[in-house]
Structure 1
Amino acid sequence: MSQRQHLQNFCNPSENFTQISSYETNRDTLLASLRDSSSLGTYSNATIGLTPDFVYGIFLCRGDTLGTAISCADCIQTATIEIATNCSLNKAAIIYYQKCMVRYSSFPFFTLMETYTRIGLTHNKPAPNLYRFNQTLFDKFDQLILNVSSSSPIPYFVEDQELVTQPEGSYELESMVQCSPDLDLSNCTVCLRDALFRISICCSSPSIAQVFTPKCILWYKTTVSPSPSVSSISAASTVAASFFIAATATEYS
């Protein structure tokens, strides 16, 4: 699946701007600035304009986009174009792809811990070794969350791959956590634990799951050998995957 696969966008309907306005010019300038920065790393923020037409924006790419065929820059290039098209006159919006997100707003949201607007994507196939799986998963994410650090090469990004061997059988567990670098460590931890909680209450132990919020990402995938590997979640297939979405207009303004 392409890393640029569009999952969802949220356009805040509570506050709009007019065409050919200072806000529109600033919004478009900000999105261009984010595009330019996306070749330099997995995160950037920017502020454009003067009162009352300030626009604040960020992008965040999954840390595992580095060194891949379709890079963070490719994902952000697509996302910045699509968010301006899909939310053309909205003063605040956020767009999610499987590997990146872009957000802009007239409200200064940097450093704030937010769990809305979040999106989750899960595979309908159940995880292996269901009797033990939840405990295995929680133990793994406890370990990853404890290891997040702002001083790592990609701030607040930790990934892991492990062969889990149990009496019921063996499987590979790939897992990843990541926070937006504008958070402090305490809020990063809160965000990731909330994302893990959302998976635990929504989805009956899926074999693959991802939660993407405005400030953090949590993802895992299980592969049982010798069954064919499920290389990605297919959001286009209603049989194979399910969404859960939580959004309120006021919480991403």
Structure 2
Amino acid sequence: MYSLTYNNYYSFLASLPSSSTQLQEPTYIYHVCPNTTTYPENSTYSSNLETLLSSLPSSNTPSFSSGFYSTAAGRSPDVVFGLFLCRGDVLPEICRDCIVFAVNDTLSRCPEEKKSLIWYDECMLRYSDENFFLESSLQNGTNGIILINTQNVTSNQQEIFRDLVLSTMNQAANKAANSTRKFDARKADFTGFEDLYVLVQCIPDLTREDCLSCLQRTINRLPTDKVGARLVVPSCSSRYELYPFTTNSLLEHLFLSWIQLLHHHLV
């Protein structure tokens, strides 16, 4: 039995190749930008949006460390509200890279729309001419997007798997709702050979009640007969998989693989 400690992690990370300084493109998930409200080029709204978006990547370091930042630019009727949220386990550098990319990407995908919401695996970016800071988790303007792994859980394991998914995700939801960062990721043993990995996250400025309500609604909408699924909405997100996908679970997986490989060579 190998124990995973911080010293193990540091030694393992030191053995990995150094990462490239080139900006890595985040994994795109989905975007929403309704064309019901648009703005003309060179308008006051356009100028305010440019100001807001340029402020996001240059926001102070603590914002990227916490993974969340919200702000506004301009005055009514041309005020723009915006925020970014990074996945709770990503490093500050990855968070910043994702936001830098998102700022350019959203203007490419939504060149004249006043409202935009774009999700990546590592972060999300949102802006609007309406003050969404005041809306509850249930008034978020979109039903979000469900991504589902097409592979089914074997029929004789579906009931056990369903119970495990729901219990583990609800535990994570309660933990996240009661935390400052409104985030939790964990794993649970499924078969002895496979582990279940889950992740839940809310916008950090939601109340405990709104966060828990949002997460419970997303969890209840997820199918549990598939080996993986996620649902992202503007206020929160929920995901489960039968493979590691968070930073810590990937590091643990790589570390254990490295240990097994080392053990194989020593035997």
Q: Which TM-score tier does this pair reach, normalised by the shorter chain?
A: 0.7 to 0.9
Cα pair distance change 1:49/1:180, threshold 3 Å? same
Q: CA deviation at 1:34?
A: 1.6
1:136 maps to 164
1:215 maps to 235
Q: CA deviation at 1:66?
A: 2.4
**What letter corresponds to residue 40 of structure 2 in structure 1?**
T
**What letter corresponds to residue 206 of structure 2 in structure 1?**
L
Residues 21-67 of structure 1, C-alpha deviations (whole Å, 9 max, x = no match) = 11011111111112223634311101000111100011111112127
1:21 maps to 43
In the alignment, which of 107, 115, 118 is matched to residue 144 of structure 2?
118
**What letter corresponds to residue 36 of structure 1 in structure 2?**
S
Aligned residues with identical type, % of pairs: 29
**What letter corresponds to residue 38 of structure 2 in structure 1?**
N
* 5+ long unaligned stretches in structure 1: 224-229, 233-253
Give the conservation status (yes or no) of the 8 Å contact 2:177–2:212.
Answer: no
Q: CA deviation at 1:231?
A: 5.9
Q: CA deviation at 1:150?
A: 5.3
1:159 maps to 185
2:75 maps to 50
In the alignment, which of 201, 216, 221 is matched to residue 193 of structure 1?
216
Q: CA RMSD in A?
A: 2.2
TM-score (normalizing by structure 2)? 0.74
Cα pair distance change 1:134/1:75, threshold 3 Å? same
Residues 194-217 of structure 1, C-alpha deviations (whole Å, 9 max, x = no match) = 1112213xxx52212221110101
Alignment of 1:48-197 (within 5 A): 48-66=73-91, 71-114=94-137, 116-127=142-153, 129-149=157-177, 151-152=179-180, 155-165=181-191, 170-197=193-220
Question: Comparing 49-58 with 128-137, which one deviates more in the overlay?
Answer: 128-137
Q: CA deviation at 1:174?
A: 1.0
Q: Distance in 2 between matches of 1:57 and 1:195?
A: 23
Cα pair distance change 1:111/1:182, threshold 3 Å? farther
Q: CA deviation at 1:85?
A: 1.6
Higher RCO, Cα 8 Å, sep 6+ = 1
Cα pair distance change 1:62/1:112, threshold 3 Å? same
Question: Helix, strand or coil for the counterpart of 1:45?
Answer: strand
Question: Comparing 37-46 with 95-104, which one deviates more in the overlay?
Answer: 37-46
Give the conservation status (yes or no) of the 8 Å contact 2:186–2:199.
Answer: yes
**What letter corresponds to residue 49 of structure 2 in structure 1?**
R
Give the conservation status (yes or no) of the 8 Å contact 1:121–1:211.
Answer: yes
Q: CA deviation at 1:3?
A: 7.0
Question: Helix, strand or coil for the counterpart of 2:58?
Answer: helix
Q: Distance in 1 between matches of 2:91 and 2:146?
A: 22
Aligned length: 215
TM-score (normalizing by structure 1)? 0.78
Q: Distance in 2 between matches of 1:24 and 1:91?
A: 9
* 5+ long unaligned stretches in structure 2: 1-23, 247-267
Question: Helix, strand or coil for the counterpart of 1:77?
Answer: helix
Q: Distance in 2 between matches of 1:123 and 1:133?
A: 15
